[in-house]
Amino acid sequence: MADDRLGPAAITLAGMMARVAGWRPGEFWAATPADVRAVLAGWVDPAEAACFDGTALAAMMERFPDG
């Protein structure tokens, strides 16, 4: 099912990180979710960022497992 694939979202996020943080593709793919969150933290309202906690990360990792 195409809606369950991470590819398009990851490509969009990679482009955003290139603009915001100046990351090259290799830097993006080597980064952890915590790295991305740390960079983007300055761009979002802290109240909005608080809703993405460990539970949300675990759910995302279960939905989009590595390999």
pLDDT tens, position by position, 9-48:
778 888 888 888 898 888 988 998 888 888 877 777 777 6
Checking if the pLDDT of 4 tops 70, the result is: no
Using alpha carbons, list the distances in angstroms from residue 9 to 6, 14, 42, 46, 47: 6, 9, 21, 23, 23
Q: How confident is the model at residue 67 (pLDDT cuts 50, 70, 90)?
A: low
